[in-house]
Structure 1
């Protein structure tokens, strides 16, 4: 693992930060030159001898620095001079900076010797569809890797990651800088040609991706979400944060089917590193990648797709028409990366997206269960609209809630979507976090009722809510359980409590209903 790290002098790190215009003060030249940095981190528990320790965050405590120095840190970076020499009885070199978040990203990138220069990193940003897009593109790139005898591509999503060395469950949609750069370095070490990831608005706003060079960056769509005091104060702040994707991007991919498409295009076209802009659309024939016609089948949606290099029928393994847009975005990225038509076709057809539009039909065929991750009004409305179009003669029931502690607007927007489009609604908990789930559910219910909808109920226990939605089904129906995908936990008061994934519960409840009816 040590081979991942690049040993540099403290002077080299000081020069890096000075060049970025964020170094406010540096130690004496002698201290810089004689201090060798073999590791860097912002976590005092990870410190080893030779570490440059980064003092990060409004909640940072002086004791973290003391612990880091005791564990072997030889210098630190901070926005504050902690004047710790007298307390320790020795001199500790300190770099004072004006922007600790930019510092984190630049030091992490330098520590791992700019790994995104050795792996083609492709990132998706957008209000919805990021995870699905990652899995679609990863599957195409995996087909390419198989064709050429290469390791499978690495990927990072808000659900899980596999960087070629480590695999696991994700804690953030886009990791903090030191973790993100390590994941990319692992991919390079494993011989992966590509890494596909989600780039969240929060990650870009707080500069976690500042050091990452994106071979391809895709802007998929935009809608109101994540507006709160602890996320984005305004819709414009949210939008501008997403546009930061193009600052370190070589090829920009833009969805033309959005209200903000022209603004996104303008930013992409004038971004300093962007060499090429590719567009896609379900509606506009002037896009670089577009769908000429499509049809629904039992295996998903077959679409005649035109790209600059080929036109052929492709299978999107989802019954939802809105996933056509996600597929087009992924195809456009694959086009930008030079994937073969066969790799695109066979990779897309075999793609699986855990917790996204997973189907659970009963043996009798009378009821179709659907588990999805739609967790905002925009996503839920698209999901329900599509299922209504696909199954017009069936009752449409939905089980959902809204997260606590963030995205407060989702309670209203999801309630409105369900109130307009669902026949039957069961409102329940969904990672209530620091809040009372009953209060969240009441807010959703108010939004549902405002649409004139009366066939709704609140069942706080999510497992019981799923059972209720299935048990009260009278005939042919589609039952949607959304918000958590295949999450194996429920977040309550800062604790990730074990939770049986929605799909497992829905499948069991449907089997019992089918046997009884």
Structure 2
């Protein structure tokens, strides 16, 4: 049994009322999930304040309360711990409660705007192929060896994450590869974890609805590297203008990867086609199944991490050449009429530009590029007109449509997107709110060897509308439309 006093290591306590020499059965940040003997940590969230549920938590069996503001009346027999920051406190407590799981595995974190999922997923596949039992924490799914666990966030909350890492360690995983989102870093979800290594992909405008400024977004990403121990390795993208900045203050061993300059992990693209990439990696020529320049960067990051983890470079490149990427990342199907359909998670202007530039480079002649794209509701509104303009600049035809409107009206989101279009762009686009109808229209526009990009949702199997997640799979809809062409 775990004593409360034993899980308070590194927690910044301001005030304690009651005994810490009590047994605790678990930690909860959601008062609805409380069981007898749990510690309830009251967190001031974006949508609600956990301090409002302290009395309910005690009624549900909580024996200890962690809070930033002490309640006006304290109940007899309950331990109250006042802390400076509840999110930071629960991260340290969860790591101790679950027996410091990150110390029992080699934990590698991946951060950046684009590429996190592909890098983490390919690392998981690579080390599995190299004979290790691995864990994966990603936007698409969490995985313990062959067991797939659905994912709800890019990075789970601190309690769920430490419980998952313990599960992975107990199952015999030697390596765990994890996406570290800016939200997770800022909200202390990964605080207290011991990372063996960390990777930076790139940074472009995203999540400004949350971070408010681009400078703050950069600062949060950088803080991940600032807190790495000297025993860790840190790998960054030399070709991103903030790649070196990310590693400025880290104690970890520093490495860079690049396609354009001298770096520890240097690549050069020799051939980029729908059959994959041919490139040199540190002067060794390799054929990869992944497609596009952005994946060349992802592959260099993966290669660098594998070498830093002590793997033989020849074996790593051989195994990497056999691997595919993550679901919903440049995922393509070809109709019997030779129309190429690509689904991709690109939901930032930079990601969309990268995918469309890759498609343009893959064109043999004058095939049409037809793009179906929308923007999510309740998210950064500033990128909406930029996304629409980028789609029109790099496509022959564009259909603006609904993505995950969430609580917003999809028509209002489309108006925001349309507002940024130049006069030449306005001649290229139409708006169709219904996403399925938009994909159907794109297919009807296409002829042999034309390329349809359906962007924004990638691996997602739903559309989030007014709090309800309706089943929707871009790739499946595209395949259905292709099949209908043959009837």
Pairing 1:197–2:178 present: yes
Residue matched to 1:4? none
Q: Which residue of 1 aligns with 2:393?
A: 420
Paired residue for 1:251? Answer: 233
Q: Which residue of 2 aligns with 1:386?
A: 358
Question: Structure 2 CA distance, aligned partners of 1:288 and 1:302?
Answer: 20
- Secondary structure, aligned partner of 1:158: coil
Given candidates 1, 5, 30, the residue that maps to 1:43 is 30
Residue number in structure 1 paired with 2:270:
294
Cα distance in 2, alignment partners of residues 370 and 420 from structure 1 = 18
Using structure 2 for the length normalisation, give the TM-score.
Answer: 0.93
- CA displacement, residues 262-299 of structure 1 (integer Å, 9 cap, x when unaligned): 31232xxx324x1x111100111x20111144213553
- Write the mapping of 1:254-269 to structure 2, written as runs, cut at 5 A: 254-266=236-248
State the distance in 2 between where 1:164 and 1:216 align.
20
Tell me if the contact between 2:370 and 2:397 (Cα under 8 Å) persists in the aligned partners: yes
1:372 equivalenced with 2:344 (yes/no): yes
| Secondary structure in 1 matching 2:211 | coil
1:129 aligns with 2:115: yes
The 5 Å alignment of 1:7-406 reads 7-14=1-8, 16-17=10-11, 22-28=12-18, 31-33=19-21, 35-58=22-45, 59-60=48-49, 64-86=53-75, 90-145=76-131, 150-151=132-133, 153-164=134-145, 167-228=148-209, 231-246=210-225, 247-248=227-228, 250-266=232-248, 270-272=249-251, 274=252, 276-284=253-261, 286-306=262-282, 311-340=283-312, 341-365=314-338, 367-391=339-363, 392-406=365-379
Note the alpha carbon deviations across 1:159-195, whole angstroms, 9 max, x for none: 2111359633222111111111111111101101111
Measure how far apart 1:222 and its partner are: 0.9
What SS is found at the alignment partner of 2:247?
A: helix
Contiguous gaps of at least 5 residues in structure 1 = 1-6
d(CA) in 2 for partners of 1:455, 1:214: 48
When residues 451 and 172 of structure 1 are mapped into structure 2, their CA distance, relative to the original with a 3 A threshold, is farther
Whole-angstrom distance in 2 between the partners of 1:508 and 1:387: 22
Q: Does the CA contact (< 8 Å) of 2:372 and 2:398 recur in 1?
A: yes
Structure 1 residues 76 and 166: CA distance shift in structure 2, 3 A: farther
CA distance in 1, matches of 2:421, 2:151: 32
Taking the aligned partners of 1:442 and 1:474, their CA distance within structure 2 comes to 29
Alignment RMSD, CA only? 2.0
Question: Structure 2: how far apart are the matches of 1:48 and 1:92?
Answer: 15
Deviation of 1:314 (Å): 2.7
Secondary structure in structure 1 of the residue aligned to 2:292: coil
Q: Equivalents in 1 of 2:330, 2:399: separation in Å?
A: 19
Q: Distance in 1 between matches of 2:195 and 2:9?
A: 24
TM-superposed CA distance for 1:338, in Å, is 1.6
Query: Is the 2:288–2:320 Cα contact (8 Å) retained in structure 1?
Result: no
- 2:52 and 2:245 map into 1 onto residues whose CA distance is 46
Give the conservation status (yes or no) of the 8 Å contact 2:369–2:395.
yes
Moved more, 107-116 or 458-467: 107-116
- Residue 42 of structure 1 deviates from its aligned partner by 1.3
The alpha-carbon distance between structure 1 residues 415 and 332, as it changes in their structure 2 partners (threshold 3 A), is same
Q: CA deviation at 1:475?
A: 4.7
> 2:423 & 2:174 partners in 1: Cα distance?
51
Deviations 1:145-169 (A, max 9, x none): 2xxxx43x11011121113596332
- Cα distance in structure 1, aligned partners of 2:212 and 2:305: 31
Deviation at 1:453, TM superposition (A): 4.1
How far apart are the structure 2 equivalents of 1:91 and 1:297? 68
Total equivalences in the alignment: 480
